[in-house]
Structure 1
Amino acid sequence: MMRIGEFALASGLTVKALHHYDAIDLLKPARVTANGYRTYSPRQLREAATIQALRNIGLALDTVAEALSNPHYINSFIERHRAHVADERARQDADAAQGSALIDSLELDYTVRRRSMPAQHWVGLQHEIRNLELEQVESPLATLRMALTEAGHTISGPWWTTLRQTAEAEVVEVLFCWPTTQIPAEPVGISGTIVESGTLPARDELFVTLETSDDDSDLGDLGAEAAQIAMIEQANDDGLELVHGSIRQVGVLADGGTPEAIELVIAIQ
């Protein structure tokens, strides 16, 4: 039998770790003497080495315990952890690339313009997203446009979207809208969705035009955040008061109806 100090030295685990593993029933001593000394069997070195290896890989203690209970599947636990680490690394790389792109976009010189707009009727489709992970918006917009057309409503301009915070911090509501010549007298029904309508009042607004991709799904343009900052700064410099919650992304369509840019718009009081 080996005293705890000997076992720690042979296994590479610390005495403190061995005490902790005993307390959580991960690696208990083979015997505890009457005066409280812990002793271990040399055969436990293999189990200790396995624990050390799995911890060095990065497995949590509860996962290590589960792996020890299923020794024939330990490699499966390792592969699952490697896949998780790879996914996390990919996410970190993506976050780093996005952060770098945002920093670069903050250095750009955005042209902030002002215009007056008439009142505008609209119909919108609600869609919830989590953690601002927005899939392509082409489908909600196309679905809404088809429903409006089938109901006999006339679309009077390019689509626009806006974000609305919900009671749940990680969930944001996106409203996908088409402007119409009138507010529908009867609700526009689309199965499994919430459709609402309203009227944007006549207003003055600031806007910045952003380049986008070849389709109308690129609402995640990194320039949008920097452009929003530029508009807020411009409003502050000009002594203008912005309308809270009025930020919209508006599609800019070419003569043939194909999208060519996005406008980031915010109303001013």
Structure 2
Amino acid sequence: MMRIGEFALASGLTVKALHHYDDIDLLKPIEVAPTGYRIYSPTQLRPAATIRALRNIGLSLDTVAEALNNPDRIDAFIDQHHTLISQERARQDADAEQGSALIDSLGLDYTVHRRTMPPQPWVGVLLEIHNLELQPVDSPLATLQVALNDAGHTITGPWWTTLRQTAEAEIVEVLFCWPTAHVPTEPIEIAGMVVESGTLSARDELFVTLETSDDDSDLDDSGAEAAQIAIIEHAEREGLKLVHGSIRQVGDLTGDGTHEAIELVIAIQ
């Protein structure tokens, strides 16, 4: 038999840890002497070493207890932990890249332009983003374009998107739109999609033009955020009041209709 100090040296666990593991029923001594000394058996060195190894790997005490009760699944517990670590590292790497990209974007000199725009009818498809996870989604713009053409509507300019905050703090709506010659008198129906229509009022607006890829993906978040800040700062310097909720990303098309850039646009009052 081994007293707690001797067992601690042999197992690589501290006396403090052994006291804690006793208290939580993870590794209890074989007996407690009348003097209060905890007594351990050499046969407990193997589970003690297992506990130390699993804790060094990073498994929680609850998971360690479950692993001790299911020794045939220890490798599965370790693999699961490695998967979680890999996912967390990937998230941290992504956060670091996004942070660096935003810092770089904030250092750029954005040129803010102003223009006057006439009323603009539009038709759009509404999607929801949950838990503020702006994951890439398949753009419904192509599907909407086909539906508009089939219904005999003329698309009059580049697509645009906008975000809407909902009553639910963790849900954001994204509206993907095409401008049309007029608001449809008959609903445009697309299976599995919510289709809306309306008219943007005549307005003055500020915008920044940013280069993007040739696909329909949304503008990089860091570039959009830096451009939005530039517009807000410009409006403050010029004494202009921005229209809340009017931020849009507008496709900037070349002469042959391909995507060359994206404009970040905010209307002013």
Same fold (TM > 0.5): yes
* Residue matched to 2:248: 248
SS at match of 2:25: coil
The SS at the match of 1:210 is strand
- Cα distance in 2 between the residues matched to 1:33 and 1:40: 11
Is the 1:132–1:172 Cα contact (8 Å) retained in structure 2?
no
CA contact 1:165–1:172 (8 Å) conserved in 2: yes
TM-score (norm 2): 0.93
| Secondary structure, counterpart of 1:108 in structure 2 | coil
- Residue 133 of structure 1 is matched in structure 2 by 134
The residue aligned with 1:86 is 86
Letter in structure 2 aligned against 1:57: I
Taking the aligned partners of 2:223 and 2:254, their CA distance within structure 1 comes to: 21
Following the alignment from structure 2 to structure 1, what is the Cα–Cα distance between the partners of residues 8 and 80?
A: 29
Alpha-carbon distance in 2 for matches of 1:35, 1:153 = 91
Q: Deviations over 1:123-154 (max 9, x none)?
A: 1111112334231443x111111222222222
Q: Tell me, which stretches of 5 or more residues in structure 2 are unaligned? A: none
- Give the secondary-structure state (helix, strand or coil) at the position aligned to 1:174: strand
Give the secondary structure class of the aligned counterpart of 1:188.
coil
SS in 2 for 1:43: helix
Q: RMSD value over aligned CA atoms? A: 1.7
- The Cα of 1:74 is off from its aligned counterpart by 1.4
For 1:4, the equivalent position in structure 2 comes to 4
Give 1:62-73 correspondences, 5 Å limit.
Answer: 62-73=62-73
Corresponding letter in the other structure for 2:234: Q
The answer to whether structure 1 residue 214 and structure 2 residue 214 are counterparts is yes
CA 1:214–1:71 in structure 2 vs 1: closer, same or farther (change >3 Å)? same
Contact conserved, 1:67 with 1:77, CA < 8 A, in 2? yes
In structure 1, the residue matched to 2:114 is 114
The DSSP-based 3-state class of the residue aligned with 1:207 is strand
- Give the CA deviation at 1:102: 1.1
Scaled by the length of structure 1, the TM-score of the pair is: 0.93
Counting only pairs closer than 5 Å after superposition, residues 82-231 of structure 1 correspond to structure 2 as 82-130=82-130, 131-138=132-139, 140-231=140-231
Provide the aligned length of Structure 1 versus Structure 2: 268
Query: Measured at CA, do residues 147 and 24 of structure 1 come closer, stay the same or move farther in structure 2, by a change above 3 Å?
Result: farther
